Amino acid sequence: MQQSCTLLALPDHWRIIFKLPCEAHEPLSPSNLSLLVRRSLPGATEPIRVTGADRFQLSRGVLTSYRCGRVLFVGDAAHSTSTIGGLNMNAGIHDAAEAAKVIAAVIGGYAPAAALEAWAWRRRSVLMHRVIPRGETRPAGVRERDSARLEAAMAGLRAIAGDPDATRAYLAQASLLDPVPHPVKPIQNAVPKAVGRA
């Protein structure tokens, strides 16, 4: 059985995220966890201490609008998407940073109240057109068990890792710091309609 995982180095421990089939219902027992870890880290020789485990399913949900009257929704309150690459979290940070600027401008009298609606529409558009497509293309070949497609994706990542300029561009894209490819014009005084799948 093939096993994929994501390794995250944190200050005092490692976090390992395993992608398990939807039909897998084995309990998260110490023996099952140990088997997953050993299968994913075959070169590890030292004992590995597991301090906790949780199971969750990926889901996608996006509000039809990030604004309801005087309430603005940001981050996980506005959207829940794939955890791959941390794009949903990064999008939430951008939601909040931009919301703070718009709120300050409206309160300070530098922008009309309609700027809040424009913000809500713009941030949802970014999520639908940039975040979700990127998150859903990252596990290329894994879900379909297409080894050729997976190897091509891995070769692409190795090429990026070997090129400092490509690495910087990739990290900027993963952090959603790259420029918006298509300028988005805000719709003033209008309730945004659902865009794409929500």
On whether the CB atoms of residues 180 and 94 are closer than 8 A, the answer is no
Question: Long-range contacts for 107-110 (Cβ within 8 Å, ≥24 apart)?
Answer: none
User: Are 2 and 77 within one domain?
Assistant: no
CA torsion, ordered 113, 117, 123, 124, to nearest 10 deg: 170
185 pLDDT exceeds 50?
no
Output the domain CATH number for residue 114: 3.50.50.60
Tokens matching residue 18: 């395993």
What is the reported pTM?
0.60
| Predicted local distance difference test score (pLDDT) of residue 3 | 62
Same domain? 42 vs 75: no
Residue 95, domain extent: 61-174
Given this model, what pLDDT does residue 22 score?
Answer: 63
Q: Under DSSP, is residue 44 helix (H, G, I), strand (E, B) or coil?
A: coil
pLDDT tens sequence across 127-160: 888 888 776 665 555 555 667 777 887 888 899 9
